[in-house]
Structure 1
Amino acid sequence: MGDPRTLEVRRKSVIAGRLLGVVQLLANPESVALARGFVRRKLGADHPVADEATLLVSELFTNSVLYSDSRHGGSVMVALADCWEFIHIDVVDAGGSSFPHIKRETTTELESVAEGGRGLSLVDQLSTRWGIVNDAEGRTVWFELMYRRADVVNESNAIQATARRAACTVAESLALEEASHPLKPDGQMRWLGRF
């Protein structure tokens, strides 16, 4: 994906979507499992990118606990939004003196390295886009995971699908109404209700 600092500019654009939730947890190792559980509950286990989102949040939250200034009694926040074609996730901590970077290792080195040190590498490999934003309040590492909705691919299709559902509902309602009000032999409807 390249240098995440170049992606900061893109992050400042408006993101339209539905906020699924925000959680703020203590910056300690026990909270990593809570962050994973939060993502799983909000997305649902059957979401197309639930596994990837859960893994990446786990990695980024762990990085915050190990390397950010939040580890000194602070907290880490995770925000999750469904933006209709992708899931957008922010992991926000207190920042720190060093800038996060991807550790580039060969396959052999990756096999011999312990669990730590690969969080941003996984984000870079699995996400559609990602970046890092530093400001006075801390650091945000964000990523997006593209997915395709089976029933809604874009906004115009969503409107069409809603219109189709509304038309079917009206048609079903009219059919039920006609069934409950039998027609006279001359084709006129005989209303049994009061007006």
Structure 2
Amino acid sequence: MPNSVSPPRMAANPCPSADREGSIGASPDPVPDTPEPLPVEELSRLEHDKLQPAVRYDAPEAIYARYIASRQAWYDAQPTGSIKTNQQYRKAMALPQRYDKQSYEWCLDYKQMSALCVTSTGRRSWTKEEMMAYLDWSKAEDERVEAQVAEEMGDNPLANARRGVKETWQRIERDSREQEALYSVADSTDSCIFVKT
């Protein structure tokens, strides 16, 4: 569909023969001017954004983008002249410096990241840094869920004995919605770094 931009609507002059600037008590136009239309480039960009599906919080691309943003915030918080490398960042955040081969194979499974990254220019292999970011997130997510389950169960391991499959799936869906909301709010605000002293 070609992009067409209509010209702005001009306000009707109620008295075309009268000189409006020279008239005493001339009233403003009864129909206000409409706002200027957006340039064609901006229209196409807005249409493109609407056509792009929203990326889920647990998509590898979103996970890597958050990793990069967090690392950049850490870089910016470091004093001038300090060493700013990915290895230094991982050390400061207590992240593993490397993973074993089985972990990389696991994250390339179709149930996780899948073997290839789909970009606007085609498909490509995931970089090691992208895989490490996904593995970091997966480990943190597993720890979060395990802590949540332990908190719900408390000291009584039979506390969840009466839960059925339906209630379990409802809990999973609720948690997924909560995480989606959490990450959408976090993505719309500036990230901050908490420095331990």
Asked if TM exceeds 0.5, the reply is no
Bigger fraction of residues in strand: 1
TM-score (norm 1): 0.22
Comparing both chains, which one has the higher relative contact order based on Cα–Cα distances under 8 Å and sequence gaps of 6 or more?
1
Higher gyration radius (CA): 2
**TM-score normalised by structure 2 residue count:** 0.22
Higher helix share: 2
